[in-house]
Structure 1
Amino acid sequence: MQPQSIILIILTLLMCACATTTPTPSASLSQENQQVLISAQQASDQGDYRVTANIYLNYAQTLSIKDQPEYVIKAINALLKGQHTDEAKYHLARLTVSDLTDESQAQVLLLKATLLLNEKKPHEALKLLSSPSSNAIPENRANELHHLRAEAYLQTGQRELAAQTLMRSPAKLTEEYAAIEKKLWPLLAMMSPQGLEKLSSEVIKDREKGWLALAQLYQQQSNINIDFEEELSSWKNNYPEHPVSSELFNSLLELEQSGPFQPNNIALLLPASGPFAKSAVAIRDGFAAAFYQTEREGVSPTLRFYDSGTLAEHTLAAYEKAIADGADVVIGPLNKSGVSILATQESLPVPTLALNYSPGHIEGPANLFQFGLAPEDEAQQAAERAWLDGHNQALLITPDSLWGNRIASTFSETWSQLGGVIVETTSYAPNTNNFSGPLQKVLNIDDSKARAKKIGQLAGQKVHSKPRRRQDIDFVFLAALPRQARQIRPQLKFFYAANVPVYATSHVYTGTPNPGTDRDLNGIRFCDMPWTLNVAQANSLWQTIESATTENIKSVKRLYALGIDSYNLLPHLPRLSKYRYQHFAGKTGFLRIQENNRIFRGLQWAQFARGTPRAIKNPNRP
């Protein structure tokens, strides 16, 4: 989700609605009024939203009390668009609702909801947008009301309700509907078939039916048993008055006409020695398993392996050799330094799928895509999941290591952006077997014992009291490997935190069910890839991989999935790159391309019960 973008869309709608005429001189406006509108618009066009607001506020001071609110509201809109939230709240609070016209009261209600959503308070926004006052919103504001309700539903993870709300928006103008389509189509395109079917059974209007039918058709695009172009034409005939834009409809036609990307010569760049060699073998074997599986289905490109070495210059030399040998797509490298050196090139001659991410957010060449099992993706989604579950006060428990610091940093940053509070953090030595010290301290058990001891000393006798943990946390975020997590979870229970939800990354789970050993993990909620959680889906290919080796490869199971996806993803790169709302359902997650061509993995959620991960509904995923 990107709430800031929808907020800007809403603000644009609000500002357009507040100025129902353009700032062109009009006979119905005084010369002074005309000049104010022109000056304010010029400042807004230049991005000087505070200047825009000041023009409106200064002009409002020259008007009667009755006429002031119109320009104060314009100023508030400008401040919000410039993200001057505190100033906007200040001026909004000074407006007396009883002194406002019905039109101004509607604008104030919508602005209050916008502020609440900007502050990540969707439940409060929904309450306001469902209040009796919202029923008095005039028809010309109904579109904004629907946008705000949809964003509130999105922020609470109710994707189907958000889509339903947008479909029912009474937008009539082309620009209004363009804003709806921009938000609605990605929701429908990424919704599960079951979700689309459920919505289809609930709608009655042709416009809504048309959207759902189009989304269902889009999801069948890869089905070789249907003529996608013919089905699109049939859809057009069935819904001739549908407001879908020609841009979106034509993009769907392009999917069929362009077809998937089919490389003829594939180069795989992986290190043959060094610290990443074992990981490289797992990725290579997963890639090869997917490659030979498609070869049996009639697709047979040439595959060559190259040793990328351990240094950046070795990687660049191997890359150039692969290009010279005629590669039309390159997979790798695996090491960050190798990815970084490719990211600094002015251009790359062929699509290149790196299996790691360059540090920072370097905007690399257009042909460079970065894909890996970044723990930061998991920490971000753990924060989003905890927020959508209604939590606010977080306690972080992470290892004192570079890996732990990366996870803690991403979680904290995401949590703060969502509006949550980090109550306290604690770290533990990665190799320790005793976690009682840091846990007692961070849960304030030590303080509780000390208070009881002091009371006993003052009373002159021993006081029998049960220690109490701190009460200002409503969940724990845990970064730990299975061995550590199996000790930390029981100790949290022992120190009176049994009822505190625990969220974690995939690292708490080995990837292979082990009910006896993992009983101590009961209750932990964690995100992971479909490859490890959907045993039936992974079973056939995994058995093939396991049977081909005599080694115990369970510890690198997720890396095999990375290898499989790095091959299966290739035909879809052009499509995913062009249409960023689309995703690919891979073994490692729901994959979509974000800014700087970084591939983000949307993960599934599970909770340990009787030592086994049990899938739980994820509000962020289709």
Structure 2
Amino acid sequence: MEFSRKGAHLKNIRHLSIVTLCLILVSCTSGTSAPVTTVPPLESATQEAPEPEVQVGLPSSEITEDIIIDEAKPNAWKNIEAAADDTVYQHAQLLVAAESLVYERRNQESQEILGLIDVTQLSHSERVNLDILRARLNQAEGEHRSAVRDLGRLQRSGLTNLDQSVRIARLRAYSYSQLKEPVNMASELVQLYGLLSEDRTQQLEAGHLLWAVLSRMTLEELRDALQKTEDPIARQWYVLALALGLNSVRSDPFEYEQALNNWQQNNPEHPANELIGAGLAPGPVVSSRIALLLPLSSVNRAFVQAMLDGFMAQHAADTNPLKPQIDVIDIGDQPANVTHFYYQAVDNGADFVIGPLGVGFVNEITQYVDFIVPTLLLGETSTAGLPDYVYQFALAPEHEGVGVANRAWQDGHVTALVIRSPQQWSERAFSAFSDSWKKRGGHVIQVYDFELNQSDYSEAAKQILLIDASANRYQTIRAMMGESMKFVPRRRQDADFIYLSADSEHGRLLKPYLDFLKAHDLPIYATSHVYPGKINKIRDQDLNGIRFADMDWIIDKSERMTELKSTLEAGLSVDERVNRLFAMGVDIYNLVSRIEVLSFDPAARFHGVTSIIHLAENGRVLRQPRWAVFENGTPELIPDMAPPELGPIPKLKAGVVQATIREGRE
């Protein structure tokens, strides 16, 4: 091993160009966000969008190489500094530095550092960590088959500790999710669930992901997996999924509960029982009489009726002889009257109240009612001090904005370009997105507000992508050179994804112009508003490539979901404009029997038809939506599982000489 050569290479890393290091500082400095530039509609905008200003904390004339290295992202660079000095040279520290850079989403630099490591200088455990890191970097490059193969070799070696085994199972499950191999993914998650037996929170998190995979597999896939699996623990997972996968069971809460009870009697020691008690099974009957307070005679009666239809359809399908009696109360369109209707419902014997539906009604009731019985409000309020038996369930645009931030960050993006409509729902969704995005460390480099009453967005797309700025640069160079040159307009390069806050009509108008101007490779994320809810391949071709979040009820086209919808919608005519409210009604009915379990157990989840549901500490119902992407005019589901972290953020081991930045050395 030639330390001088390694040291020289490391010092070359340290002496990167000032420009490159400035970019590292701008993109990675903790707590520093690029300010948002809001672009007005085209009529009032200047011809060329202004360049966003970047504040790095020091005047440019004062930035020096050493300051940049000290402040950019100190953890990884300090570890490299430790390795650069012959007196503290430690190959293990290079591995730690490489892992740190992966956490900072600087995969290319991590790869470069891995090339400096002499594997013979590492312990056995460190070599395993090195192989795990290499597999994670392969995943980042989309090389999932290679990652599965290499991690499988480690898995079979029998030489990994518990923490490493957990990381390997997570990573393999993630790769199988990207490869769309649910049977193999389920197999890895069964193993992961067993490995996490000493950590209930993490175990249930893995268990709910496992159940989401099993419940979406076809009955044929489940039977095939059962036939090929010899492990008795895994076999019973498949038996359970088959028992609950029959349509007659899925559509009838009582039969569902009976099937669960039968399985538990036959498998009292199976680890899945922990998951069953955490929301998979309904709790005991908590109500004998439910009152629904709904504004059926208001201007929004079509939406209200759809929600009621979904609720009553699920109630009708429930064969439980002890199912609750339902009182439906029309509260009209005046929020001031809701207090009277609430007390009337309780006086008539209601021991659980659902409603009212709508922000105005919810704000009114939370200010003037002393809640007597458990109540599920169909809207959200900022009123503080509500009893812990008052819950809030809403299909709010704020939740969808946060969902976009979650997914974009999960997919590895950092810099957002926002295109939004002036509609109120869009502004609410963007506000929630922006807050969530900045908390994660993401940047919003520009916000463009488009006009609704347009049919041609070509000029708007040019402004969004700074095409005119590219043309202006060409004209300047041409004038300097004094001759014509070949010119291809170049779109802006400072964004790594677009958040499109628009409905389907405007999405279809905007997306083709963005594609034409060379932004077809820029990922676009949207809320459910971009999809009307019914497949139309011809109409939605122009939405191809857009990723969006929605309900299982809307975008899951599997045989099992199709059968369930047919059963519950039988005899009804559910319009595509209100079918999300119908699904909400279905979930509300099933949520009542699980509400206590969800409120007392933070790890509990309810797998509904709108999404996977859990409760926040303030009683708010939170949904984990499904994601799809338009392909050939049709929404196609995309994997849910996030790229797993490698483990705890790497730190220097005790006893290793701590490195200092050059200026601070004695």
C-alpha contact (below 8 Å) 2:380/2:392 kept by paired residues: yes
Pair 1:355 & 2:390 matched:
no
Within the candidate set 458, 481, 489, 2:503 is matched to 481
Tell me by how many angstroms 1:433 deviates: 2.9
2:306 corresponds in structure 1 to 282
- The 3-state SS of whatever aligns with 2:493 is coil
Pair 1:402 & 2:424 matched:
yes
CA distance in structure 2 between the aligned counterparts of 1:609 and 1:122, rounded to whole angstroms:
29
Tell me by how many angstroms 1:539 deviates: 6.0
Within the candidate set 341, 362, 366, 1:339 is matched to 362
Matches for 1:452-463 after TM superposition, within 5 Å: 452-458=474-480
- The 3-state SS of whatever aligns with 1:227 is helix
Deviation readout 1:51-73 (Å, 9 max, x if unpaired): xxxxxxxxxxxxxxxxxxxxxxx
CA distance in structure 1 between the aligned counterparts of 2:98 and 2:331, rounded to whole angstroms:
54
Residues 134 and 518 of structure 1, relative CA distance in 2, 3 Å threshold: farther
Tell me by how many angstroms 1:565 deviates: 1.7
CA distance in structure 1 between the aligned counterparts of 2:75 and 2:520, rounded to whole angstroms:
43
Deviation readout 1:153-207 (Å, 9 max, x if unpaired): 89998987687567558xxxxxxx74x3331232124313756989999999x9x
Deviation readout 1:509-565 (Å, 9 max, x if unpaired): 11011112111112222221111113452566468758545xx82211211111222
Instruction: Output the amino acid matched with 2:506.
Output: Q
Instruction: Output the amino acid matched with 2:349.
Output: G
The 10-residue stretch of structure 1 (439-448 or 566-575) with the greater mean CA deviation from structure 2: 566-575
C-alpha contact (below 8 Å) 1:163/1:184 kept by paired residues: no
Q: CA RMSD in A?
A: 4.7
Residues 400 and 100 of structure 1, relative CA distance in 2, 3 Å threshold: same
- The 3-state SS of whatever aligns with 1:605 is strand
CA distance in structure 2 between the aligned counterparts of 1:553 and 1:150, rounded to whole angstroms:
43
C-alpha contact (below 8 Å) 2:190/2:234 kept by paired residues: no
TM-score by length of 2: 0.64
The 10-residue stretch of structure 1 (346-355 or 129-138) with the greater mean CA deviation from structure 2: 129-138
Identity %: 28
C-alpha contact (below 8 Å) 1:363/1:596 kept by paired residues: no
Residues 373 and 232 of structure 1, relative CA distance in 2, 3 Å threshold: same
2:206 corresponds in structure 1 to 187
Matches for 1:278-317 after TM superposition, within 5 Å: 278-294=302-318, 298=321, 301-310=324-333, 312-317=335-340
Residues 216 and 125 of structure 1, relative CA distance in 2, 3 Å threshold: farther
Within the candidate set 630, 641, 648, 1:608 is matched to 630
Pair 1:227 & 2:271 matched:
no
Pair 1:572 & 2:606 matched:
no
Tell me by how many angstroms 1:395 deviates: 1.7
1:434 corresponds in structure 2 to 456
2:621 corresponds in structure 1 to 599
C-alpha contact (below 8 Å) 2:288/2:322 kept by paired residues: no
CA distance in structure 2 between the aligned counterparts of 1:568 and 1:258, rounded to whole angstroms:
8
Within the candidate set 480, 494, 501, 2:523 is matched to 501
Instruction: Output the amino acid matched with 2:211.
Output: S
Instruction: Output the amino acid matched with 1:384.
Output: N
Within the candidate set 124, 134, 137, 1:135 is matched to 124
CA distance in structure 1 between the aligned counterparts of 2:480 and 2:87, rounded to whole angstroms:
61
Q: Which protein, 1 or 2, shows the higher relative CO under an 8 Å CA cutoff with sep ≥ 6?
A: 2
Tell me by how many angstroms 1:359 deviates: 3.9
Tell me by how many angstroms 1:326 deviates: 0.9
C-alpha contact (below 8 Å) 2:415/2:442 kept by paired residues: yes
- The 3-state SS of whatever aligns with 1:597 is coil
1:272 corresponds in structure 2 to 296
1:73 corresponds in structure 2 to none
Residues 218 and 135 of structure 1, relative CA distance in 2, 3 Å threshold: farther
Instruction: Output the amino acid matched with 1:227.
Output: N
- The 3-state SS of whatever aligns with 2:618 is helix
Residues 620 and 538 of structure 1, relative CA distance in 2, 3 Å threshold: farther
Pair 1:381 & 2:400 matched:
no
CA distance in structure 2 between the aligned counterparts of 1:128 and 1:413, rounded to whole angstroms:
34
Residues 596 and 200 of structure 1, relative CA distance in 2, 3 Å threshold: farther
Pair 1:261 & 2:295 matched:
no
Deviation readout 1:370-427 (Å, 9 max, x if unpaired): 1121223333333333333333332221112332222222223333344433332212
Residues 279 and 249 of structure 1, relative CA distance in 2, 3 Å threshold: closer
Instruction: Output the amino acid matched with 1:389.
Output: D
TM-score by length of 1: 0.67
Instruction: Output the amino acid matched with 2:258.
Output: I
C-alpha contact (below 8 Å) 2:80/2:94 kept by paired residues: no
Structure 2 alignment gaps of length 5 or more = 1-71, 129-159, 179-184, 216-221, 245-255, 644-666
CA distance in structure 1 between the aligned counterparts of 2:403 and 2:359, rounded to whole angstroms:
23
Tell me by how many angstroms 1:581 deviates: 2.4
- The 3-state SS of whatever aligns with 2:376 is strand
The 10-residue stretch of structure 1 (475-484 or 609-618) with the greater mean CA deviation from structure 2: 609-618
Instruction: Output the amino acid matched with 2:300.
Output: F
Residues 125 and 284 of structure 1, relative CA distance in 2, 3 Å threshold: farther
Residues 448 and 338 of structure 1, relative CA distance in 2, 3 Å threshold: same
C-alpha contact (below 8 Å) 1:546/1:553 kept by paired residues: no
2:346 corresponds in structure 1 to 323
CA distance in structure 2 between the aligned counterparts of 1:436 and 1:137, rounded to whole angstroms:
54
Residues 201 and 554 of structure 1, relative CA distance in 2, 3 Å threshold: closer
Tell me by how many angstroms 1:443 deviates: 0.3
C-alpha contact (below 8 Å) 1:455/1:463 kept by paired residues: no
Matches for 1:415-426 after TM superposition, within 5 Å: 415-426=437-448
Deviation readout 1:62-87 (Å, 9 max, x if unpaired): xxxxxxxxxxxxxxxxxxxxxxx989
1:369 corresponds in structure 2 to 391
Structure 1 alignment gaps of length 5 or more = 1-84, 170-176, 236-243
Pair 1:531 & 2:576 matched:
no
Deviation readout 1:128-163 (Å, 9 max, x if unpaired): 999854734599x95666677788889998987687
C-alpha contact (below 8 Å) 2:257/2:282 kept by paired residues: no
C-alpha contact (below 8 Å) 1:355/1:372 kept by paired residues: yes
Residues 219 and 391 of structure 1, relative CA distance in 2, 3 Å threshold: farther
1:15 corresponds in structure 2 to none
C-alpha contact (below 8 Å) 1:155/1:388 kept by paired residues: no
Tell me by how many angstroms 1:473 deviates: 2.4
- The 3-state SS of whatever aligns with 1:489 is helix
Instruction: Output the amino acid matched with 2:204.
Output: W
Instruction: Output the amino acid matched with 1:330.
Output: V
Residues 385 and 320 of structure 1, relative CA distance in 2, 3 Å threshold: same
CA distance in structure 1 between the aligned counterparts of 2:111 and 2:382, rounded to whole angstroms:
39
Deviation readout 1:474-528 (Å, 9 max, x if unpaired): 3222111111011011111122212222221111111011112111112222221
